[in-house]
Structure 1
Amino acid sequence: MAFLNTDSWESEVQRALFEVFRNELQKLGYTDGKNLVIERRAAEGRIERLDQLANELIAEKPDVVVAVATPAIAAARRATATIPIVMWGAGDAVALGLINSLAHPGGNLTGVATMFSDTTGKSLELLHSILPAATRVAVLGSPIPARKRQFEETEAAAKILGLETIPIFTFSRNDLGQAFERMVQEKCDALLVLAAPIEPQIVLLAARTKIPAVYQISAFVDLGGLASYGASLAVMGKQTAQYTAKIFQGAKPAELPVQQPVAFELALNLKTAAALGLKIPAEVIGRADKVIE
């Protein structure tokens, strides 16, 4: 099988998530190095590399391609219309034309959707609960089609909460320093980081500029981020492995409904809150699934 990752293999977070996937496959009877060979490629956050990497993997004629995050999924779909593709974390796959519908995907794709667009409002509500005095919120993300709805949902939620959003676009990790400089210039009170490859530099820059940041992926909180709300990537990894096993056993992607996340997690880092001089309300701490003290 082939495995295409938008992010990097070098980070501890990505290695841990891959182990979740591989261990679940092993429980289902497929052991890497015994009755399974996994060819891996990673774009290191450079989306422009994905088409080349996808074509390299397809040239190996794998039985299944697992693609992580929408940019990798789209690249895999451009590379093949016949080899089954299992999506680990698809965002707005219907709107992007990758599948016909969640219930009847059609074609050669199935897998697990992220629902990050649907939960963006909840992430912004979390930010507002922690920082009720914040009025100007930077929204960090990439201006690619896959992120369009996330920005739209953020804007809609911000209007309800009476917040002003300042979109901050980045094309690669090289743009992050300039992005945070702009947040400071714009006098942003807080930052919402839309779901994207897990980039530790974002956490470091948020700490350096003392901008409280809320994320959609809990791995950022493990790295020192303030707070997050969103689907559990680890649980999605298990779901992805289960679908991969089904395809090994003869199931057709077109007939496997795309799954929605089954677990959402609220994570808090109280050490980071203290460093920022913030006191997270007790009711927010009481709702948290993970608290780093």
Structure 2
Amino acid sequence: MMKRMLLLMVVGFMVILVACGDGEGESGDVDSEDNQADNELTRDEADFVVGVSQIVEHPSLDRATEGFQEALADAGLEVFYDVSLAQGDNQNAQLIAEKFVSDDVDLIFGNSTPSTQSALNETQDIPIVFTSVTDPVGAGLVDSMEDPGGNVTGTADMHPDAVPQAVELVEDLGYDSIGLVYNSGEQNSVRQIELVNEVASESGLETHEATVSASSEVMQAAESLIGQADVFLIITDNTVVSALESVLSVGQNEDMPVFVSELDSVERGGFAGFGFDYFDIGYEAGEKAAQVLQDGVSPGDIPASYPQNLFLQINEDAAEKMGVELTDELTERAEIVTTEEEGE
């Protein structure tokens, strides 16, 4: 008991350190001093206190948090954001949820599957709105997308057509095998890998898997697939995406194109991906949160939703580095971008 109380005190201190404001800071700096300064309202001055639990810091999740905050600002709500990053640790996510419940926040925003599951484990009374969740029903968060029930609703981050179209592109480019690096401890990742294997099998493509439990293992896992797979397909796995540069390095050294599942990851150096802007699903989650806070609607009565827009992006710099020749047909299908550093 004493040890648990000590851990809660530590998490409480972490939450204070990463408290941030209205989302006007730079994307990716949710725990920066700039974003802390943006939270102009004190807890007592604000109309609502929202606890934001984000599993790890990486550009896509940061964009979702930014979109969520902007939606509430656009709704005219004065909100104090109590933000905490779990550093990729599910136990931290659980302790963060405990603290939010102890503080009796008005709403919890879960940015990832484990963050939202942790919140739901702690409360059926405080409203919970999620985003960046791959399979809300399979994760036990909602009864159905149309009729969530309970105290949870939100936006998923997996478009039903994303995996089939990605696998089809791999096949169209003449590759025979796909390398998959993922954290088998993430429920959303396991579901996606099952889907990739199913679609690849129907297309006659082989898949080879390498699992990790921490971002420090990603490089070794990617290297283990050299000689087995022709390409990498990186799903929306929080652990792997936070260490994406490790996979990109292997892809460039071995001429193994890295297909990704987030547009932010294309700009970071992935070869190609079917995706959407995480800001948009965060914003839509924020609109649902506004219904809860402003209008008193029960989350269980607000349908959960999938991303609305899906399109192909190709990084021409990454294509060159990974040995992919871009045909006219391919460039006509896609939005062409460059790597983030070179494109700025």
Q: Same fold (TM over 0.5)?
A: yes
Asked if 1:110 corresponds to 2:153, the answer is: yes
Q: TM-score, normalised by structure 2?
A: 0.77
Aligned residue number for residue 209 of structure 2: 167
The counterpart of 1:23, out of the listed 70, 74, 86, is: 70
2:262 — aligned with what?
A: 217
Distance 1:281 1:57, change over 3 A: farther
For the 8 Å contact 2:105–2:126, the answer to whether it is kept is yes
Letter in 2 for 1:277: G
Q: Which amino acid aligns with 2:318?
A: T
When residues 21 and 264 of structure 1 are mapped into structure 2, their CA distance, relative to the original with a 3 A threshold, is same
Post-superposition offset of 1:57: 2.3
Q: For 1:85-133, what per-residue CA distance to the aligned partner results, in whole angstroms no more than 9, with x for missing partners? A: 101122222123221111111111001122356521222222233x31x
TM-score by length of 1: 0.89
Aligned to 1:37: 80
Q: 2:233 maps to what in 1?
A: 192
Q: 2:252 aligns with which of 189, 196, 207?
A: 207
Distance, in Å, in 2 between the alignment partners of 1:71 and 1:182 is 27
Q: Report the CA distance between 1:58 and its aligned residue.
A: 2.2
Displacement of 1:204 after TM fit?
Answer: 3.7
**Which deviates further from its counterpart, 265-274 or 114-123?**
114-123
Shift in CA distance, 16/157, structure 1 to aligned 2, threshold 3 Å: closer
Q: Deviations over 1:60-96 (max 9, x none)?
A: 2111111112121111111211111101122222123
Q: Structure 1 residue runs of 4+, over 6 Å off?
A: none
Judge conservation of contact 1:110–1:254 (CA < 8 Å) in 2. yes
State the distance in 1 between where 2:210 and 2:138 align: 23
User: 1:16 Cα shift?
Assistant: 4.2
Q: Do the aligned partners of 1:180 and 1:209 also contact (CA within 8 Å) in 2? A: no
Report % sequence identity: 24
CA distance in 1, matches of 2:151, 2:222: 40
Question: In 2, are the aligned partners of 1:84 and 1:109 still within 8 Å (CA)?
Answer: yes
1:177 and 2:223 aligned: no
Tell me, in whole angstroms, the C-alpha distance in 1 between the residues paired with 2:280 and 2:229: 34
Unaligned runs of 5+ in 1: none
What corresponds to 2:322 in structure 1?
276
Please say if residues 142 and 169 of structure 1, whose CA atoms lie closer than 8 Å, have aligned partners that are also in contact.
Answer: yes
> In the superposition, relative to structure 1, how do residues 14 and 143 fare at CA in structure 2: closer, same or farther (>3 Å)?
closer
* Alpha-carbon offset, residue 14 of structure 1: 4.7
Provide closer, same or farther for how the CA distance between residues 111 and 7 of structure 1 changes in structure 2, counting only shifts above 3 A: same
Instruction: Please give the alpha-carbon distance, in whole angstroms, between the structure 1 residues aligned to 2:136 and 2:59.
Output: 28
> Are 1:126 and 1:229, in contact at CA under 8 Å, matched by a contact in 2?
no
Equivalenced residues, count: 284
CA contact (8 A) 1:54 1:75 kept: yes
The residue type paired with residue 236 of structure 1 is I
Deviation for aligned residue 1:139: 1.3
- 1:13–1:136 distance in 2 versus 1, CA, 3 Å: closer
Counterpart position of 2:36: none
| Alignment partners' CA distance in 2, 1:194 and 1:4 | 21
1:151 aligns with 2:193: yes
Shift, 1:149, TM fit: 2.4
Aligned to 1:6: 55
- C-alpha distance in structure 2 between counterparts of 1:155 and 1:163, whole Å: 9
Which shifted more, 136-145 or 194-203? 194-203
Cross-structure match for 2:99: 56
Aligned 8 A contact 1:117 1:153 in 2: no
Secondary structure of the 2:80 match is coil
Task: Answer whether contact 2:54 2:86 (CA < 8 A) is retained.
Answer: yes
Q: In 1, are the aligned partners of 2:233 and 2:259 still within 8 Å (CA)?
A: yes
- Structure 2 residue runs without a partner (length 5+): 1-49
Larger radius of gyration: 2
Q: Partners of 2:191 and 2:299 in 1: how far apart?
A: 25
Specify the code of the residue in structure 2 equivalent to 1:81: Q
The range that moved more, 197-206 or 88-97, is 197-206
Aligned partner of 1:282: which letter? D
Higher relative contact order (CA 8 A, sep 6+): 1
Worse-superposed segment, 137-146 or 187-196:
137-146
Q: CA deviation at 1:208?
A: 4.1
- For 2:86 and 2:160, locate their aligned partners in 1 and report how far apart those are by CA, in whole Å: 23
Contact 2:159 2:306 in 1 (8 A): no
Task: Confirm or deny: 8 A CA contact 2:253 2:322 kept in the other structure.
Answer: no
Match of residue 278 from structure 2? 233
Matches of 1:90 and 1:159, distance apart in 2: 25
> Is structure 2 residue 117 aligned with structure 1 residue 86?
no
Q: Distance in 1 between matches of 2:143 and 2:162?
A: 22
- Structural RMSD (CA): 2.0
Which of 230, 254, 258 is 2:300 aligned to? Answer: 254
